[in-house]
Amino acid sequence: MRTPVLLLAVFVIRCVALAAAPATTQPALPTLYIIGDSTVHNSTKPLVGWGDCIGELFDPSKIQVQNDAIAGRSTRTFISDGRWDKVMSTLKPGDFVMMQFGHNDASPINDATRARGTMPGTGDETQEIDNQLTGKHETVHTYGWYLRKFVTDAKGKGATPIICSLVPRDNWKDGKVIRSTDTYVAWAKQIADEEHVPFIDLNDRIAAKYEQMGQEKANAFFPNDHTHTNIDGARLSAQTVVEGIRELKDSPLARYLK
């Protein structure tokens, strides 16, 4: 019988391999597409996103996991960069789309470096800009508008969308992790409720785990800054995502877990 230490080592080795391996396509199997930012996929060692590890927790004979998250993107720029179109080009009935954005949506809407921010909220408000980065005119929507587009497009392909709230940063106050309860968490949940799709509150679930283990131990997951985790932090987040999947009511994705 493998010891817990050996199992952890095996998981870590496989997690690194999954992060580096190119996606494979098996049309006969359903696919779980994961979209998001650098907290979901990170190729800068020693940093790892939870999407780089979660494939190890699914049965590869029943489903394939494709992590299409990319560092630096918001809901807006994941679309404007053409990355969502790429997912849509292969998305098919029976597939799943799990999305987690928010960290970069709070960035400036228009600047000469990234121009990736979105308007706050979930409404139909827009802002017209001449993008300083691309030189193109652009209509910028709210965070919720972009999430709703992901959901609507995925449903139109016969896929099942799942919205996750953004993972917490390593920011503390009075022994508690600071959450985004009134902003990006609330907006993500609102879109999930309105569109009748599953919602997993990673912001609160992971923050609660950090608080249980204590600030000093949680700090060890963040070797470079207060946002990006190492492989141990990514593993904890991936396991939390899976716990959330198992607790979803009548979730068809749960049947594909190991």
Q: Is residue 94 part of a domain?
A: yes
**Angle of CA points 103, 214, 47, to nearest 5°:** 45
239 located within any domain:
yes
Note down the domain range covering 191.
34-248
Q: Is residue 106 part of a domain?
A: yes
Most distant CA pair in the chain, distance: 62
Residue pair 87/67 in contact by the 8 Å Cβ criterion? no
Give 105-143 pLDDT, tens digit per residue.
999 999 999 999 999 999 999 999 999 999 999 999 999
pLDDT value at position 4?
40
Amino acid identity for residue 10 in this structure: V
pTM exceeds 0.85 for this model: yes
Low-confidence residues in the chain, pLDDT < 50: 1-13, 16-23
Query: For position 27, what pLDDT does the model report?
Result: 63
**Residue 88 within any structural domain of the chain:** yes
Q: Is residue 118 part of a domain?
A: yes
- Does residue 69 belong to any structural domain of this protein? yes
Report the CATH number that the domain containing residue 57 is assigned in CATH: 3.40.50.1110
Kindly list the strands in the beta sheet with 64-67, ordered across the sheet, starting from the edge strand earlier in the chain: 64-67, 31-36, 96-100, 160-164, 199-200
Looking at the structure of the chain, the number of domains it has is: 1
pLDDT at 31: 98
pLDDT for res 8: 40
Whether 9 is covered by a domain: the verdict is no
d(CA 253, CA 189) in angstroms, rounded, equals 19
**Nearest one of 238, 242, 240 to 51, comparing CA atoms:** 238
Identify whether 49 is part of a domain.
yes
